[in-house]
Chain A
Amino acid sequence: QQQVKQSPQSLIVQKGGISIINCAYENTAFDYFPWYQQFPGKGPALLIAIRPDVSEKKEGRFTISFNKSAKQFSLHIMDSQPGDSATYFCAASKGSNYQLIWGAGTKLIIKP
């Protein structure tokens, strides 16, 4: 019930392509869904986040698509660049404490 399932585990995309990472959750009480980006040797950094009252949120080349009925959300990276190569984590939380339940992570490699 508390799990967030993330796929794929790794992803290789050509420069300029679209990277898509998917997450699914079970607990309908989750009400905050962030995506974090992590570079080697660094802590995770918030990339973009969404609440379940909207189906899509876009910030620059990064878009979250949210499907409440399917309990799924995904990250789309448009025009992927080598600098986007990193590990991406989806997460979810509920309530006001915001402790995060994490997906397993996706290692994204953008080939030049």
Chain B
Amino acid sequence: EPEVTQTPSHQVTQMGQEVILRCVPISNHLYFYWYRQILGQKVEFLVSFYNNEISEKSEIFDDQFSVERPDGSNFTLKIRSTKLEDSAMYFCASRAHGGRETQYFGPGTRLLVL
């Protein structure tokens, strides 16, 4: 069964460093999402992406964040200058074409900013 994959599974970085989290969505899916979950808190929507552009973003997704689909398979989330409060589990999700509601989630990347 096709699945969403994410790399790395864990990342430790120093405050102020740039990180890139990678996702490979399910191959025929068209809609892509990033969510994050700070330890002990709710899962929060960050951004959605369709047709090579951001379709929606939350207030969390400020200028320090960017997303890209650099080729036909990868979907990346970049944090330019990490802060301590960026420490969280980051989930990528993908969804098939318009009428299909189900989002399929990857296993997540646990980011720790020191």
Interface residues of A (CB under 8 A from B): 32, 34, 36, 41-46, 49, 89, 91, 96-105
A43 touching B45, Cβ below 8 Å: no
Q: How far is the CB of A88 from chain B (nearest CB, A)?
A: 12
B91 touching A89, Cβ below 8 Å: no
B43 touching A97, Cβ below 8 Å: no
- 10 closest A-B pairs (Cβ-Cβ)? A43-B105, A102-B43, A99-B45, A43-B107, A44-B105, A97-B56, A46-B102, A102-B42, A43-B106, A104-B42
Which B residues lie within 8 Å of A32 (CB)? 101
| A89, A100, A103 — most chain B CB neighbours (10 Å) | A100
Which B residues lie within 8 Å of A49 (CB)? 101-102
Q: How many interface residues does chain B have, given as a range?
A: 20 to 34
B25 at the interface (CB under 8 A from A): no
Which A residues lie within 8 Å of B4 (CB)? 43
Q: Which of B43, B45, B56 makes the CB contact (< 8 A) with A44? A: B43
B101 touching A34, Cβ below 8 Å: yes
SS of A interface (majority):
loop
A43 touching B108, Cβ below 8 Å: yes
Residue of chain A at shortest CB distance from B9: A41
Q: How far is the CB of A83 from chain B (nearest CB, A)?
A: 18
Question: Chain B 74-114 against A: per-residue CB contact (8 Å), 1 yes, 0 no?
Answer: 00000000000000000101010010011111111000000
Q: With A96-B98, A97-B55 given, is the CB distance from A102 to B44 under 8 Å?
A: yes
B65 at the interface (CB under 8 A from A): no
Q: How far is the CB of A44 from chain B (nearest CB, A)?
A: 5
